[in-house]
Chain A
Protein backbone atom coordinates (compact mmCIF):
# COMPACT_ATOMS: atom_id res chain seq x y z
CA UNK A 1 0.00 0.00 0.00
CA UNK A 2 1.41 3.37 -0.95
CA UNK A 3 0.45 5.53 1.96
CA UNK A 4 2.22 8.77 2.84
CA UNK A 5 2.96 9.19 6.51
CA UNK A 6 3.56 12.52 8.18
CA UNK A 7 2.31 16.08 7.72
CA UNK A 8 0.87 18.81 9.96
CA UNK A 9 0.63 17.75 13.60
CA UNK A 10 -2.08 18.29 16.18
CA UNK A 11 -1.04 18.12 19.82
CA UNK A 12 -3.26 16.54 22.47
CA UNK A 13 -1.60 17.25 25.79
CA UNK A 14 -3.13 14.61 28.03
CA UNK A 15 -2.50 10.98 28.95
CA UNK A 16 -5.14 8.22 28.84
CA UNK A 17 -7.23 9.60 25.98
CA UNK A 18 -9.68 6.73 25.51
CA UNK A 19 -11.43 5.39 22.44
CA UNK A 20 -14.80 6.70 23.71
CA UNK A 21 -13.24 10.16 23.37
CA UNK A 22 -11.75 9.38 19.96
CA UNK A 23 -15.12 8.15 18.66
CA UNK A 24 -18.16 8.05 20.99
CA UNK A 25 -20.23 4.87 21.19
CA UNK A 26 -23.29 6.63 19.77
CA UNK A 27 -21.57 6.46 16.35
CA UNK A 28 -20.80 2.75 16.56
CA UNK A 29 -24.07 2.07 14.78
CA UNK A 30 -22.36 3.10 11.54
CA UNK A 31 -21.26 0.23 9.32
CA UNK A 32 -18.92 2.17 7.02
CA UNK A 33 -15.66 3.88 7.93
CA UNK A 34 -16.48 7.03 5.93
CA UNK A 35 -19.56 7.71 8.03
CA UNK A 36 -17.30 8.31 11.07
CA UNK A 37 -15.50 11.27 9.46
CA UNK A 38 -17.38 14.18 11.12
CA UNK A 39 -17.21 12.73 14.65
CA UNK A 40 -13.47 12.30 15.31
CA UNK A 41 -12.56 13.33 18.89
CA UNK A 42 -16.01 14.88 19.30
CA UNK A 43 -16.18 14.20 23.05
CA UNK A 44 -12.62 15.19 23.91
CA UNK A 45 -12.58 18.18 26.24
CA UNK A 46 -9.11 19.68 26.39
CA UNK A 47 -7.98 23.32 26.76
CA UNK A 48 -7.54 24.86 23.32
CA UNK A 49 -8.88 21.82 21.46
CA UNK A 50 -11.78 22.23 19.06
CA UNK A 51 -13.07 19.06 17.41
CA UNK A 52 -14.49 21.17 14.59
CA UNK A 53 -11.40 23.38 14.32
CA UNK A 54 -9.03 23.85 11.41
CA UNK A 55 -6.02 22.37 13.25
CA UNK A 56 -7.71 18.98 13.46
CA UNK A 57 -9.09 19.25 9.91
CA UNK A 58 -5.58 19.78 8.50
CA UNK A 59 -3.76 17.36 10.79
CA UNK A 60 -2.05 14.25 9.44
CA UNK A 61 -0.28 13.39 12.71
CA UNK A 62 -1.35 13.31 16.37
CA UNK A 63 1.24 13.94 19.09
CA UNK A 64 0.12 12.94 22.56
CA UNK A 65 1.18 11.50 25.93
CA UNK A 66 0.75 8.11 27.65
CA UNK A 67 -1.73 5.24 27.18
CA UNK A 68 -3.42 6.69 24.09
CA UNK A 69 -6.44 4.70 22.89
CA UNK A 70 -7.26 2.99 26.17
CA UNK A 71 -10.67 1.47 26.88
CA UNK A 72 -12.96 -0.01 24.26
CA UNK A 73 -11.46 -2.21 21.53
CA UNK A 74 -13.42 -0.36 18.83
CA UNK A 75 -11.39 -0.17 15.64
CA UNK A 76 -13.71 2.71 14.78
CA UNK A 77 -11.06 4.82 16.60
CA UNK A 78 -8.24 4.20 14.09
CA UNK A 79 -10.82 4.27 11.27
CA UNK A 80 -12.00 7.72 12.38
CA UNK A 81 -8.35 8.83 12.20
CA UNK A 82 -7.86 7.11 8.83
CA UNK A 83 -10.86 8.70 7.10
CA UNK A 84 -9.61 12.08 8.35
CA UNK A 85 -6.18 11.50 6.78
CA UNK A 86 -4.39 10.91 10.09
CA UNK A 87 -2.23 7.83 9.54
CA UNK A 88 0.36 8.52 12.24
CA UNK A 89 0.12 8.85 16.01
CA UNK A 90 3.19 9.66 18.11
CA UNK A 91 2.80 8.97 21.82
CA UNK A 92 4.67 8.00 24.93
CA UNK A 93 2.62 4.81 25.02
CA UNK A 94 -0.55 3.06 23.85
CA UNK A 95 -3.19 0.69 25.03
CA UNK A 96 -2.42 -2.71 23.49
CA UNK A 97 -5.57 -3.13 21.41
CA UNK A 98 -5.46 0.38 19.92
CA UNK A 99 -1.78 0.02 19.02
CA UNK A 100 -2.42 -3.33 17.31
CA UNK A 101 -5.48 -1.93 15.51
CA UNK A 102 -3.36 0.90 14.06
CA UNK A 103 -0.75 -1.47 12.61
CA UNK A 104 -3.48 -3.93 11.56
CA UNK A 105 -4.86 -1.09 9.42
CA UNK A 106 -1.41 -0.40 8.01
CA UNK A 107 -1.03 2.79 10.05
CA UNK A 108 1.70 3.95 12.42
CA UNK A 109 1.51 4.10 16.22
CA UNK A 110 4.98 5.43 17.01
CA UNK A 111 6.20 5.20 20.58
CA UNK A 112 8.83 7.64 21.81
CA UNK A 113 10.43 8.05 25.24
CA UNK A 114 9.01 10.76 27.53
CA UNK A 115 12.02 13.05 26.91
CA UNK A 116 11.45 12.99 23.14
CA UNK A 117 7.72 13.62 23.57
CA UNK A 118 8.62 16.59 25.81
CA UNK A 119 10.92 17.93 23.07
CA UNK A 120 8.11 17.60 20.52
CA UNK A 121 5.75 19.49 22.82
CA UNK A 122 8.39 22.19 23.44
CA UNK A 123 8.78 22.71 19.71
CA UNK A 124 5.06 23.28 19.37
CA UNK A 125 5.24 26.14 21.91
CA UNK A 126 6.85 28.20 19.15
CA UNK A 127 4.19 27.52 16.52
CA UNK A 128 2.80 24.91 14.15
CA UNK A 129 4.81 21.73 13.60
CA UNK A 130 5.03 19.54 10.52
CA UNK A 131 6.35 16.02 10.95
CA UNK A 132 8.10 14.02 8.27
CA UNK A 133 8.27 10.26 8.66
CA UNK A 134 11.07 8.23 7.10
CA UNK A 135 9.72 4.72 7.52
CA UNK A 136 12.68 2.90 5.97
CA UNK A 137 15.17 4.50 8.34
CA UNK A 138 12.72 4.73 11.25
CA UNK A 139 13.35 8.42 11.79
CA UNK A 140 10.98 11.32 12.08
CA UNK A 141 11.79 14.97 11.63
CA UNK A 142 9.80 17.73 13.29
CA UNK A 143 9.85 21.10 11.55
CA UNK A 144 8.55 24.18 13.34
CA UNK A 145 9.59 27.74 14.04
CA UNK A 146 12.86 26.67 15.70
CA UNK A 147 15.62 24.43 14.39
CA UNK A 148 14.29 21.14 13.06
CA UNK A 149 14.61 18.12 15.28
CA UNK A 150 15.09 14.50 14.38
CA UNK A 151 14.10 11.39 16.33
CA UNK A 152 14.76 7.70 15.86
CA UNK A 153 11.71 5.53 16.54
CA UNK A 154 11.41 1.81 17.24
CA UNK A 155 9.22 -0.59 15.28
CA UNK A 156 9.12 -4.35 15.70
CA UNK A 157 9.70 -6.40 12.55
CA UNK A 158 6.02 -7.38 12.78
CA UNK A 159 4.89 -3.73 12.95
CA UNK A 160 6.98 -2.97 9.91
CA UNK A 161 5.70 -5.98 7.99
CA UNK A 162 2.10 -4.96 8.68
CA UNK A 163 2.65 -1.40 7.46
CA UNK A 164 4.45 -2.69 4.35
CA UNK A 165 1.74 -5.26 3.65
CA UNK A 166 -0.99 -2.65 4.13
CA UNK A 167 -2.43 -4.40 7.19
CA UNK A 168 -2.98 -7.71 8.99
CA UNK A 169 -5.62 -9.09 6.62
CA UNK A 170 -3.17 -8.80 3.72
CA UNK A 171 -0.31 -10.26 5.77
CA UNK A 172 -2.34 -13.14 7.21
CA UNK A 173 -4.06 -13.97 3.95
CA UNK A 174 -0.73 -14.35 2.18
CA UNK A 175 0.76 -16.50 4.92
CA UNK A 176 -1.95 -18.65 6.55
Chain B
Protein backbone atom coordinates (compact mmCIF):
# COMPACT_ATOMS: atom_id res chain seq x y z
CA UNK B 1 0.00 0.00 0.00
CA UNK B 2 1.32 3.43 -0.96
CA UNK B 3 1.67 6.39 1.34
CA UNK B 4 0.26 9.90 1.39
CA UNK B 5 2.63 12.86 1.63
CA UNK B 6 1.69 13.23 5.31
CA UNK B 7 2.50 9.55 5.97
CA UNK B 8 5.86 9.94 4.23
CA UNK B 9 6.73 12.96 6.35
CA UNK B 10 5.67 11.12 9.51
CA UNK B 11 7.80 8.08 8.60
CA UNK B 12 10.83 10.27 7.94
CA UNK B 13 10.50 12.10 11.28
CA UNK B 14 9.40 9.34 13.63
CA UNK B 15 11.33 9.60 16.90
CA UNK B 16 9.19 7.33 19.02
CA UNK B 17 5.92 5.44 19.08
CA UNK B 18 5.34 5.25 22.85
CA UNK B 19 1.93 3.66 22.31
CA UNK B 20 0.21 2.12 19.34
CA UNK B 21 -1.07 4.99 17.18
CA UNK B 22 0.88 7.76 18.96
CA UNK B 23 3.63 9.18 16.78
CA UNK B 24 6.26 11.42 18.35
CA UNK B 25 7.93 13.36 15.55
CA UNK B 26 11.22 15.21 15.32
CA UNK B 27 10.57 18.84 14.42
CA UNK B 28 12.27 20.89 11.73
CA UNK B 29 10.65 24.16 12.79
CA UNK B 30 9.24 25.46 16.05
CA UNK B 31 7.68 28.86 15.35
CA UNK B 32 6.89 31.30 18.13
CA UNK B 33 4.87 34.49 18.62
CA UNK B 34 4.29 36.74 21.59
CA UNK B 35 0.79 35.58 22.57
CA UNK B 36 1.26 31.86 23.15
CA UNK B 37 5.02 31.63 23.81
CA UNK B 38 5.52 33.75 26.98
CA UNK B 39 3.60 31.30 29.19
CA UNK B 40 5.80 28.48 27.85
CA UNK B 41 8.92 30.55 28.55
CA UNK B 42 7.76 31.32 32.09
CA UNK B 43 6.97 27.65 32.72
CA UNK B 44 10.39 26.55 31.46
CA UNK B 45 12.00 29.09 33.78
CA UNK B 46 9.89 27.87 36.70
CA UNK B 47 11.01 24.31 35.94
CA UNK B 48 14.62 25.52 35.71
CA UNK B 49 14.75 24.23 32.14
CA UNK B 50 15.08 27.50 30.25
CA UNK B 51 16.79 25.92 27.24
CA UNK B 52 16.10 25.53 23.51
CA UNK B 53 16.63 22.30 21.54
CA UNK B 54 18.14 24.04 18.50
CA UNK B 55 18.33 27.83 18.20
CA UNK B 56 18.47 27.65 14.38
CA UNK B 57 15.24 25.66 14.10
CA UNK B 58 13.29 28.08 16.29
CA UNK B 59 11.93 31.23 14.63
CA UNK B 60 10.17 33.96 16.57
CA UNK B 61 8.15 37.07 15.78
CA UNK B 62 6.11 39.68 17.59
CA UNK B 63 3.04 39.95 15.38
CA UNK B 64 -0.30 39.82 17.16
CA UNK B 65 -0.21 43.24 18.80
CA UNK B 66 2.64 45.32 17.44
CA UNK B 67 3.82 47.92 18.21
CA UNK B 68 2.61 47.20 21.76
CA UNK B 69 -0.71 48.89 22.58
CA UNK B 70 -0.46 48.83 26.38
CA UNK B 71 1.70 47.60 29.27
CA UNK B 72 0.48 44.01 29.05
CA UNK B 73 1.28 43.61 25.38
CA UNK B 74 4.59 45.40 25.95
CA UNK B 75 5.44 42.79 28.59
CA UNK B 76 4.53 39.93 26.24
CA UNK B 77 6.78 41.39 23.57
CA UNK B 78 9.58 41.90 26.06
CA UNK B 79 9.34 38.31 27.33
CA UNK B 80 9.74 36.97 23.79
CA UNK B 81 12.48 39.50 22.94
CA UNK B 82 14.49 38.77 26.09
CA UNK B 83 14.14 35.01 25.60
CA UNK B 84 15.26 35.23 21.95
CA UNK B 85 18.18 37.37 23.11
CA UNK B 86 19.44 35.10 25.88
CA UNK B 87 19.23 32.01 23.65
CA UNK B 88 20.82 33.86 20.74
CA UNK B 89 18.02 32.90 18.36
CA UNK B 90 19.19 34.33 15.03
CA UNK B 91 15.75 34.63 13.44
CA UNK B 92 13.77 36.87 15.75
CA UNK B 93 11.67 39.61 14.15
CA UNK B 94 10.81 42.73 16.11
CA UNK B 95 9.23 46.10 15.28
CA UNK B 96 10.51 47.27 11.91
CA UNK B 97 11.17 43.76 10.61
CA UNK B 98 8.07 41.97 11.85
CA UNK B 99 5.05 40.70 9.97
CA UNK B 100 2.23 38.21 10.37
CA UNK B 101 3.91 34.89 11.25
CA UNK B 102 2.34 32.72 8.55
CA UNK B 103 3.27 35.27 5.91
CA UNK B 104 6.71 36.32 7.18
CA UNK B 105 8.20 32.85 7.85
CA UNK B 106 7.44 31.37 4.39
CA UNK B 107 8.66 34.60 2.78
CA UNK B 108 12.02 34.15 4.55
CA UNK B 109 12.38 30.66 3.05
CA UNK B 110 12.08 28.92 6.42
CA UNK B 111 9.57 26.30 5.27
CA UNK B 112 10.59 23.49 2.92
CA UNK B 113 8.90 20.40 1.47
CA UNK B 114 8.92 17.46 3.84
CA UNK B 115 9.39 19.58 6.97
CA UNK B 116 7.55 19.14 10.25
CA UNK B 117 6.41 22.48 11.66
CA UNK B 118 4.55 23.44 14.82
CA UNK B 119 3.51 26.77 16.27
CA UNK B 120 1.22 27.89 19.07
CA UNK B 121 -1.21 29.20 16.52
CA UNK B 122 -4.04 27.35 14.81
CA UNK B 123 -3.30 28.77 11.36
CA UNK B 124 0.10 27.06 11.26
CA UNK B 125 -1.56 24.74 8.71
CA UNK B 126 -0.76 27.53 6.21
CA UNK B 127 2.82 26.24 5.85
CA UNK B 128 1.53 22.99 4.37
CA UNK B 129 1.33 24.88 1.07
CA UNK B 130 5.04 24.02 0.71
CA UNK B 131 4.47 20.28 1.11
CA UNK B 132 5.24 20.38 4.84
CA UNK B 133 3.30 18.85 7.70
CA UNK B 134 2.45 21.97 9.70
CA UNK B 135 0.16 21.93 12.70
CA UNK B 136 -1.14 24.46 15.17
CA UNK B 137 -0.62 23.38 18.77
CA UNK B 138 -1.18 24.69 22.28
CA UNK B 139 1.40 26.20 24.58
CA UNK B 140 2.36 22.90 26.25
CA UNK B 141 3.14 21.26 22.88
CA UNK B 142 5.06 24.41 21.97
CA UNK B 143 6.98 24.27 25.25
CA UNK B 144 8.03 20.66 24.69
CA UNK B 145 8.87 21.57 21.08
CA UNK B 146 11.16 24.37 22.27
CA UNK B 147 12.82 22.17 24.89
CA UNK B 148 12.98 18.78 23.16
CA UNK B 149 12.26 19.35 19.47
CA UNK B 150 9.45 16.80 19.38
CA UNK B 151 5.66 16.74 19.18
CA UNK B 152 3.10 13.92 19.40
CA UNK B 153 0.36 13.28 16.85
CA UNK B 154 -2.09 10.55 15.95
CA UNK B 155 -1.76 8.59 12.74
CA UNK B 156 -2.27 11.11 9.93
CA UNK B 157 -5.37 10.06 8.02
CA UNK B 158 -5.91 12.31 4.99
CA UNK B 159 -8.81 13.74 3.04
CA UNK B 160 -7.99 14.25 -0.63
CA UNK B 161 -9.63 17.33 -2.15
CA UNK B 162 -9.32 17.26 -5.93
CA UNK B 163 -10.02 20.68 -7.42
CA UNK B 164 -10.76 20.85 -11.14
CA UNK B 165 -12.46 23.17 -13.60
CA UNK B 166 -11.81 26.74 -14.67
CA UNK B 167 -12.07 29.58 -12.15
CA UNK B 168 -14.16 32.50 -13.39
CA UNK B 169 -12.90 36.08 -13.44
CA UNK B 170 -12.75 37.49 -9.85
CA UNK B 171 -13.06 34.03 -8.31
CA UNK B 172 -9.92 33.11 -6.36
CA UNK B 173 -8.47 30.63 -3.88
CA UNK B 174 -10.37 32.28 -0.96
CA UNK B 175 -13.65 31.51 -2.69
CA UNK B 176 -12.49 27.94 -3.32
CA UNK B 177 -11.54 27.29 0.30
CA UNK B 178 -14.75 28.87 1.65
CA UNK B 179 -16.67 26.54 -0.67
CA UNK B 180 -14.64 23.52 0.51
CA UNK B 181 -15.25 24.37 4.19
CA UNK B 182 -18.95 24.67 3.39
CA UNK B 183 -18.77 21.16 1.90
CA UNK B 184 -16.74 19.61 4.75
CA UNK B 185 -18.32 21.44 7.70
CA UNK B 186 -16.43 22.93 10.65
CA UNK B 187 -15.45 19.50 12.00
CA UNK B 188 -15.43 17.56 8.75
CA UNK B 189 -11.64 17.24 8.74
CA UNK B 190 -10.98 16.86 12.48
CA UNK B 191 -7.86 14.73 13.08
CA UNK B 192 -7.31 14.68 9.32
CA UNK B 193 -4.80 16.24 6.95
CA UNK B 194 -6.46 17.94 3.96
CA UNK B 195 -4.44 17.28 0.81
CA UNK B 196 -5.30 19.85 -1.87
CA UNK B 197 -4.63 18.68 -5.42
CA UNK B 198 -5.81 18.98 -8.98
CA UNK B 199 -5.25 21.28 -11.97
CA UNK B 200 -6.68 24.34 -10.17
CA UNK B 201 -4.12 23.97 -7.36
CA UNK B 202 -1.33 23.28 -9.88
CA UNK B 203 -2.13 26.61 -11.54
CA UNK B 204 -2.11 28.55 -8.26
CA UNK B 205 0.79 30.72 -7.05
CA UNK B 206 2.28 30.04 -3.61
CA UNK B 207 0.33 33.06 -2.33
CA UNK B 208 -2.94 31.49 -3.49
CA UNK B 209 -2.02 28.05 -2.15
CA UNK B 210 -1.27 29.52 1.27
CA UNK B 211 -4.81 30.95 1.33
CA UNK B 212 -6.13 27.41 0.73
CA UNK B 213 -4.04 25.68 3.39
CA UNK B 214 -4.49 28.57 5.87
CA UNK B 215 -8.15 27.72 6.33
CA UNK B 216 -7.79 23.90 6.65
CA UNK B 217 -8.23 24.40 10.41
CA UNK B 218 -11.66 25.98 9.81
CA UNK B 219 -12.80 22.50 8.74
CA UNK B 220 -11.00 21.07 11.77
CA UNK B 221 -7.99 19.85 9.74
CA UNK B 222 -4.68 19.18 11.49
CA UNK B 223 -2.78 20.47 8.46
CA UNK B 224 -3.55 21.50 4.92
CA UNK B 225 -1.00 20.29 2.42
CA UNK B 226 -0.10 20.77 -1.25
CA UNK B 227 2.35 18.65 -3.25
CA UNK B 228 5.61 20.51 -3.94
CA UNK B 229 6.08 21.27 -7.64
CA UNK B 230 7.77 23.72 -10.01
CA UNK B 231 5.87 26.64 -8.41
CA UNK B 232 7.27 25.63 -5.01
CA UNK B 233 10.79 25.32 -6.40
CA UNK B 234 10.60 28.72 -8.12
CA UNK B 235 9.38 30.38 -4.90
CA UNK B 236 12.10 28.77 -2.77
CA UNK B 237 14.92 29.04 -5.30
CA UNK B 238 16.59 32.15 -3.78
CA UNK B 239 16.93 30.17 -0.53
CA UNK B 240 17.91 26.75 -1.90
CA UNK B 241 20.05 27.59 -4.92
CA UNK B 242 23.23 26.68 -3.03
CA UNK B 243 21.83 23.31 -1.97
CA UNK B 244 20.84 22.08 -5.43
CA UNK B 245 22.75 22.01 -8.71
CA UNK B 246 19.65 23.08 -10.61
CA UNK B 247 15.94 23.69 -10.24
CA UNK B 248 15.37 20.33 -11.91
CA UNK B 249 17.43 18.64 -9.19
CA UNK B 250 15.41 20.40 -6.50
CA UNK B 251 12.16 19.36 -8.15
CA UNK B 252 13.30 15.75 -8.35
CA UNK B 253 14.27 15.79 -4.69
CA UNK B 254 11.00 17.41 -3.57
CA UNK B 255 9.00 14.93 -5.62
CA UNK B 256 10.00 12.13 -3.27
CA UNK B 257 7.35 13.49 -0.89
CA UNK B 258 4.51 13.15 -3.39
CA UNK B 259 1.67 10.89 -2.34
CA UNK B 260 1.80 7.51 -4.05
CA UNK B 261 -0.83 6.69 -6.66
CA UNK B 262 -2.14 3.88 -4.45
CA UNK B 263 -2.11 5.90 -1.21
CA UNK B 264 -5.18 5.43 0.96
CA UNK B 265 -7.50 8.31 1.85
CA UNK B 266 -10.17 8.57 4.46
CA UNK B 267 -12.33 10.48 2.03
CA UNK B 268 -11.99 11.90 -1.47
CA UNK B 269 -13.80 15.09 -2.39
CA UNK B 270 -13.97 16.09 -6.05
CA UNK B 271 -14.77 19.74 -6.60
CA UNK B 272 -15.39 21.43 -9.93
CA UNK B 273 -15.02 25.18 -9.52
CA UNK B 274 -16.20 26.18 -12.99
CA UNK B 275 -19.54 27.53 -11.75
CA UNK B 276 -18.20 28.90 -8.44
CA UNK B 277 -19.09 32.52 -7.72
CA UNK B 278 -17.42 34.83 -5.14
CA UNK B 279 -18.25 33.42 -1.70
CA UNK B 280 -19.10 35.17 1.57
CA UNK B 281 -19.83 33.81 5.07
CA UNK B 282 -22.93 34.55 7.08
CA UNK B 283 -23.71 33.78 10.73
CA UNK B 284 -20.89 32.82 13.14
CA UNK B 285 -19.28 29.70 11.66
CA UNK B 286 -16.89 29.56 8.72
CA UNK B 287 -18.92 26.77 7.07
CA UNK B 288 -21.92 29.10 6.75
CA UNK B 289 -21.18 30.26 3.21
CA UNK B 290 -23.30 31.78 0.43
CA UNK B 291 -22.54 33.54 -2.81
CA UNK B 292 -21.79 37.27 -2.57
CA UNK B 293 -24.93 37.95 -4.63
CA UNK B 294 -27.08 36.12 -2.06
CA UNK B 295 -25.53 38.32 0.63
CA UNK B 296 -25.77 41.66 -1.15
CA UNK B 297 -28.25 43.19 1.28
CA UNK B 298 -25.76 42.98 4.14
CA UNK B 299 -24.39 46.42 5.03
CA UNK B 300 -20.79 46.84 6.11
CA UNK B 301 -19.20 49.46 8.37
CA UNK B 302 -15.59 48.43 7.92
CA UNK B 303 -13.39 46.71 5.34
CA UNK B 304 -10.36 44.83 6.62
CA UNK B 305 -7.80 43.63 4.11
CA UNK B 306 -4.77 41.77 5.42
CA UNK B 307 -4.06 38.78 7.76
CA UNK B 308 -2.35 35.42 7.31
CA UNK B 309 -5.16 34.41 4.94
CA UNK B 310 -5.10 37.31 2.49
CA UNK B 311 -2.47 39.90 3.36
CA UNK B 312 0.01 38.87 0.64
CA UNK B 313 1.03 40.87 -2.41
CA UNK B 314 -1.25 39.02 -4.84
CA UNK B 315 -4.19 39.70 -2.50
CA UNK B 316 -3.37 43.40 -2.37
CA UNK B 317 -3.04 43.51 -6.16
CA UNK B 318 -6.48 41.93 -6.58
CA UNK B 319 -8.10 44.39 -4.20
CA UNK B 320 -6.28 47.36 -5.76
CA UNK B 321 -7.51 46.39 -9.22
CA UNK B 322 -11.07 46.83 -7.91
CA UNK B 323 -10.31 50.00 -5.94
CA UNK B 324 -8.46 51.81 -8.75
CA UNK B 325 -10.27 55.05 -9.53
CA UNK B 326 -13.00 54.35 -6.96
CA UNK B 327 -13.60 55.38 -3.36
CA UNK B 328 -15.14 53.81 -0.28
CA UNK B 329 -18.86 54.41 0.23
CA UNK B 330 -19.62 57.29 2.63
CA UNK B 331 -19.32 56.16 6.24
CA UNK B 332 -17.38 52.98 5.43
CA UNK B 333 -13.97 52.64 7.09
CA UNK B 334 -11.23 50.86 5.14
CA UNK B 335 -8.19 49.30 6.80
CA UNK B 336 -5.29 47.72 4.94
CA UNK B 337 -2.58 45.83 6.79
CA UNK B 338 0.03 44.45 4.37
CA UNK B 339 1.15 41.28 6.13
CA UNK B 340 4.92 41.83 6.00
CA UNK B 341 7.38 44.69 5.51
CA UNK B 342 8.46 43.17 2.17
CA UNK B 343 4.86 43.15 0.94
CA UNK B 344 4.35 46.69 2.24
CA UNK B 345 7.42 47.89 0.35
CA UNK B 346 6.51 46.09 -2.89
CA UNK B 347 2.95 47.41 -2.65
CA UNK B 348 4.35 50.93 -2.30
CA UNK B 349 6.65 50.47 -5.27
CA UNK B 350 3.79 49.17 -7.40
CA UNK B 351 1.50 52.07 -6.46
CA UNK B 352 -0.88 49.75 -4.63
CA UNK B 353 -0.62 51.63 -1.34
CA UNK B 354 -1.47 54.88 -3.15
CA UNK B 355 -4.51 53.22 -4.73
CA UNK B 356 -5.76 52.11 -1.31
CA UNK B 357 -5.14 55.58 0.16
CA UNK B 358 -6.83 57.30 -2.78
CA UNK B 359 -9.86 55.07 -2.15
CA UNK B 360 -9.92 56.29 1.46
CA UNK B 361 -8.19 53.42 3.26
CA UNK B 362 -6.08 53.72 6.39
CA UNK B 363 -2.86 51.76 5.89
CA UNK B 364 -1.43 50.16 9.03
CA UNK B 365 1.75 48.25 9.74
CA UNK B 366 1.82 44.45 9.41
CA UNK B 367 0.01 42.85 12.38
CA UNK B 368 -2.66 40.28 13.25
CA UNK B 369 -4.46 43.08 15.08
CA UNK B 370 -8.12 43.36 14.23
CA UNK B 371 -8.58 39.81 12.90
CA UNK B 372 -8.93 38.59 16.47
CA UNK B 373 -10.18 41.83 17.93
CA UNK B 374 -6.93 42.75 19.67
CA UNK B 375 -6.01 46.08 18.05
CA UNK B 376 -6.06 48.23 14.89
CA UNK B 377 -9.73 48.07 13.94
CA UNK B 378 -11.83 46.41 16.66
CA UNK B 379 -15.59 46.57 15.94
CA UNK B 380 -18.25 48.20 18.13
CA UNK B 381 -21.39 46.20 18.98
CA UNK B 382 -23.77 46.09 16.03
CA UNK B 383 -21.09 46.84 13.44
CA UNK B 384 -20.21 44.58 10.52
CA UNK B 385 -16.86 44.08 8.81
CA UNK B 386 -16.10 42.71 5.36
CA UNK B 387 -12.85 40.89 6.16
CA UNK B 388 -10.28 38.89 4.24
CA UNK B 389 -9.44 36.96 7.41
CA UNK B 390 -10.41 33.40 8.37
CA UNK B 391 -12.81 33.43 11.33
CA UNK B 392 -16.31 34.83 11.70
CA UNK B 393 -16.94 33.62 15.26
CA UNK B 394 -19.32 35.72 17.32
CA UNK B 395 -17.38 38.65 18.76
CA UNK B 396 -14.17 37.67 16.94
CA UNK B 397 -13.33 41.21 15.81
CA UNK B 398 -14.96 42.86 18.81
CA UNK B 399 -17.83 41.98 21.13
CA UNK B 400 -21.18 42.29 19.39
CA UNK B 401 -19.59 42.71 15.95
CA UNK B 402 -20.31 40.71 12.80
CA UNK B 403 -17.61 39.44 10.43
CA UNK B 404 -18.24 38.52 6.80
CA UNK B 405 -15.33 36.52 5.37
CA UNK B 406 -14.54 36.99 1.68
CA UNK B 407 -11.79 37.48 -0.88
CA UNK B 408 -9.79 40.72 -1.21
CA UNK B 409 -11.62 41.65 -4.43
CA UNK B 410 -15.03 41.03 -2.87
CA UNK B 411 -14.04 43.02 0.23
CA UNK B 412 -12.89 45.92 -1.94
CA UNK B 413 -16.13 45.85 -3.96
CA UNK B 414 -18.15 45.72 -0.74
CA UNK B 415 -16.30 48.77 0.56
CA UNK B 416 -17.12 50.75 -2.55
CA UNK B 417 -20.82 49.91 -2.36
CA UNK B 418 -21.22 49.82 1.44
CA UNK B 419 -22.99 46.47 1.14
CA UNK B 420 -21.63 43.01 0.36
CA UNK B 421 -20.97 43.11 -3.38
CA UNK B 422 -19.84 40.60 -6.00
CA UNK B 423 -16.83 42.32 -7.62
CA UNK B 424 -18.25 41.42 -11.04
CA UNK B 425 -21.30 43.58 -10.36
CA UNK B 426 -19.47 46.90 -10.01
Contacts and interface: CB of A to CB of B under 8 A. Distances in A.
Contact of B372 (A16, A72, A95, A157): A72
Contacts of A74: 35-36, 138
B190 interface: yes
Interface residues of B, number: 57
Contacts of A157: 19-20, 22
A24 B16 contact: no
A3 interface: no
A104 B148 contact: no
Contact of A175 (B18, B38, B395): B18
Which interface residue of B124, B187, B222 has the most chain A CB atoms within 10 A? B187
A29 B64 CA distance: 10
Contact of B79 (A31, A72, A78, A167): A31
A162 B36 CA distance: 21
A104 B138 CA distance: 9
Interface stretch (A4-12, A63-71, A121-129, A146-154): A63-71
B220 A31 contact: no
Interface in A19-65: 20-21, 24-26, 28-33, 43, 45
A167 B144 CA distance: 11
B137 interface: yes
Nearest to B53: A176
B312 interface: no
Contact of B19 (A67, A93, A105, A156): A156
B391 interface: yes
A155 to B, nearest CB: 11
B138 A173 contact: no
Nearest to B124: A73
Contact of A168 (B76, B140, B374): B140
A21 B394 CA distance: 8
Given A45-B394, A70-B220, A25 B373 contact: yes
A9 B47 CA distance: 33
Which interface residue of B138, B285, B395 has the most chain A CB atoms within 10 A? B138
Contact of A78 (B120, B138, B217): B138
B15 interface: yes
A93 B18 contact: no
Contacts of A175: 16, 18
B49 interface: yes
A146 B313 CA distance: 62
A72 B120 CA distance: 9
Which interface residue of A21, A158, A173 has the most chain B CB atoms within 10 A? A158
Given A105-B140, A156-B19, A161-B19, A70 B395 contact: no
B138 A161 contact: no
A31 B372 contact: no
Interface in B75-98: 75-76, 79
Which interface residue of B15, B136, B372 has the most chain A CB atoms within 10 A? B372
A145 interface: no
Contacts, number: 147
Contacts of A16: 186-187, 285
Interface in B14-65: 15-16, 18-22, 24, 35-36, 38-39, 42-43, 47, 49, 64-65
Interface string A76-104: 00100000000000000111111011001
A114 B36 CA distance: 33
A58 B20 CA distance: 38
A95 B24 CA distance: 20
Given A29-B73, A30-B72, A95-B220, A75 B374 contact: no
B365 interface: no
Contacts of A30: 72
B410 to A, nearest CB: 23
A43 to B, nearest CB: 5
A133 to B, nearest CB: 21
A96 B15 contact: no
A97 B150 contact: no
Contact of A100 (B15, B141, B187, B399): B141
A26 B140 CA distance: 21
Given A20-B395, A93-B187, A175-B18, A73 B137 contact: yes
Nearest to A29: B72
B399 A169 contact: no
Nearest to A106: B140
B235 interface: no
A173 B147 contact: yes
14 contacts: A16-B187, A43-B394, A66-B187, A67-B186, A70-B220, A71-B122, A73-B36, A95-B190, A96-B191, A96-B220, A101-B139, A104-B138, A169-B47, A173-B47
